C-alpha cells in the first residue's frame, strides 16, 4: 500500500492531531496550545482566562451556558441530593455523569472541553462529577476567617507534581457564587510550587472566586484552595466537574456507560473520548496483546 493511500485512510480529525504533534515535535509545553486547538481557543474567548490560569492557577470562564441550563442543573443536583440515602442527604449528589442530559450538557460544554484540553491534554478522561449544596452556616459556627480545608486537588499524587497538569476542576455554580455566598477560596499563584501545602501555608491569605450565573470557575490540580463560609440565606449549588490526564486513574469509574448502547446512542459526541473508549489500557486478552490502534491513539493524544 502506498504512503498516499495510507494517509487517505486516516480520518481528517486524526490527521490534524498528527500534524499538531509534528509541529510541536511531540514536546508540547505545559499550558501550550496545540495547533489544531488554537483557532477554537480564540473563537471561544479562552485566551485571556488561560493566561490568567497559567499565572495564578485558577480562572473564571464567562458565559459557558445559558441561565436555563444552570436552573436545570440546579434542579438535578437538588433532586439527587434529596433522594440520597447516604450521609450526604440534601447536601451531596455524587457520581453524576450520564444520569441526566443537564449534567452531560455541561460536562461536554465546548468551552470546558477546550480549556480542559489545554490543561490536561487531548486524551483527557472524565474523572469526578459531584454536586454539592452549601447553606448558611449556623449563627454559632466558628468563623473560619477565610478558607477551610486548603489542599491541592492532585492530593493522591506524590510531590513534586508533574509539570504537565494531571487534574483540572471546573466549579459550576448554578446560582453564581460570591464571597458571602460561600465561594471557593484560592491562594493565587500557589500552583507554581507543585506540591501540597504545609500547615502554615494552609493558613495563608486566600481570595474568593466570584462567578456570575452561567460562568464557571476552574482551578489547576496544583493550586491551593479550600471552601468559604456561607453567611447569607439560600444555597450555593455547585457541580464539581473534574477531568484527568489520560495516564492517570480517574476518581469515578464511568466505564459502565460504554456498555449501555441506549445511552451511548444519544450521548453527546465527546462522551466516548471522556469515557476512555479509545485508550489502550486493559485491552489485552489471553489471545492478543493490547489493541494496537488504541495504543497508537493513546500515544498520539498523550502528546497534545
Ligand atoms: Fe479541591
Q: Which residue has the cell 461536554?
A: 108
For residue 6, what pLDDT is reported? 57
The beta-strand segments (E) located in 199-281 are: 207-208, 216-220, 225-227, 235-244
How many angstroms does the Cα of residue 254 sit away from the middle of ligand 1?
20
Give the dihedral sign, CA 137/139/140/145.
Answer: positive
Distance from Cα 84 to the centre of ligand 1, integer Å: 22
Residue 82 has, within 13 A of its CA and on its CB side, a CA count of 7
Compute, in angstroms, the gap from residue 32 CA to the centroid of ligand 1: 24
Q: Which residues contact 168 (CB under 8 A, 6 or more apart)?
A: 115, 116, 119, 120, 124, 218, 219, 220, 221, 242, 243, 244
Quote the ligand 1 centre to 185 CA distance (angstroms). 10
pLDDT of residue 86: 87
- Alpha carbon of 168 to ligand 1 centroid (Å): 10
Residues 31 and 54: their CA atoms lie apart, in Å, by: 7
Nearest to 4 by CA among 13, 15, 303: 15
CA distance 113 to 108: 6
pLDDT tens-digit profile of 55-85? Answer: 999 999 999 999 999 999 999 999 999 999 9
End-to-end CA distance of the chain: 28
Residues 191-220 have pLDDT tens digits of 999 999 999 998 889 999 999 999 999 999
pLDDT at 2 over 60: no
**For the segment 226-247, what is each residue's pLDDT rounded down to a tens digit?**
999 999 999 999 999 999 999 9
CA of 50 from ligand 1 middle (Å) equals 19
Could you tell me the three cell numbers for 123?
Answer: 486524551
pLDDT in tens, 120-170: 999 999 999 999 999 998 877 776 667 889 999 998 999 999 999 999 999
CATH homologous superfamily, domain 24-301: q2cbj1_9rhob like domain (2.60.120.620)
Report the DSSP beta bridge partners of residue 125.
244
Record the cell numbers describing residue 58, joined without a space. Answer: 485558577
The rounded Å distance from CA 141 to ligand 1 centre is 22
Which pLDDT does position 169 carry in this prediction?
98
Domain range summary for the chain, segments of one domain joined by +? 24-301
The whole model's pTM is what? 0.95
Amino acid at each position: 500500500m502506498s504512503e498516499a493511500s495510507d494517509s487517505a485512510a486516516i480520518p481528517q480529525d486524526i490527521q490534524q492531531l498528527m500534524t499538531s504533534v509534528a509541529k510541536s515535535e511531540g514536546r508540547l509545553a505545559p499550558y501550550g496550545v496545540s495547533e489544531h486547538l488554537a483557532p477554537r481557543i480564540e473563537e471561544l474567548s479562552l485566551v485571556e482566562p488561560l493566561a490568567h490560569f497559567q499565572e495564578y492557577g485558577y480562572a473564571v470562564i464567562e458565559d459557558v451556558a445559558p441561565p436555563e441550563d444552570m436552573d436545570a442543573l440546579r434542579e438535578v443536583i437538588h433532586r439527587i441530593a434529596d433522594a440520597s440515602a447516604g450521609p450526604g442527604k440534601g447536601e451531596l449528589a455524587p457520581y453524576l455523569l450520564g444520569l441526566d442530559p443537564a449534567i452531560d450538557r455541561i460536562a461536554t460544554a465546548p468551552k470546558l472541553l477546550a480549556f480542559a484540553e489545554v490543561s490536561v491534554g487531548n486524551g483527557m478522561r472524565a474523572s469526578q462529577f459531584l454536586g454539592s449544596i452549601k447553606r448558611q452556616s449556623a449563627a454559632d459556627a466558628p468563623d473560619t476567617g477565610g478558607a477551610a480545608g486548603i489542599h491541592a486537588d492532585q492530593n493522591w499524587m506524590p510531590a513534586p507534581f508533574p509539570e504537565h497538569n494531571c487534574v483540572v476542576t471546573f466549579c459550576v455554580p448554578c446560582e453564581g457564587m460570591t464571597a458571602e455566598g460561600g465561594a471557593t477560596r484560592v491562594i493565587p499563584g500557589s500552583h507554581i510550587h507543585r506540591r501540597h501545602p504545609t500547615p502554615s501555608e494552609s493558613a495563608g491569605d486566600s481570595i474568593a472566586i466570584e462567578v456570575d450565573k452561567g460562568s464557571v470557575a476552574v482551578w489547576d490540580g496544583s493550586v491551593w484552595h479550600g471552601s468559604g463560609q456561607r453567611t447569607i440565606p439560600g444555597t450555593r449549588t455547585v457541580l464539581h466537574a473534574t477531568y484527568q490526564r489520560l495516564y492517570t486513574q480517574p476518581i469515578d469509574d464511568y466505564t459502565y456507560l460504554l456498555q449501555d448502547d441506549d445511552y451511548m446512542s444519544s450521548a453527546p459526541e465527546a462522551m466516548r473520548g471522556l469515557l476512555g473508549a479509545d485508550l489502550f489500557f486493559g485491552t489485552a486478552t489471553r489471545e492478543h496483546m493490547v489493541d494496537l490502534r488504541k495504543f497508537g491513539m493513546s500515544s498520539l493524544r498523550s502528546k497534545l
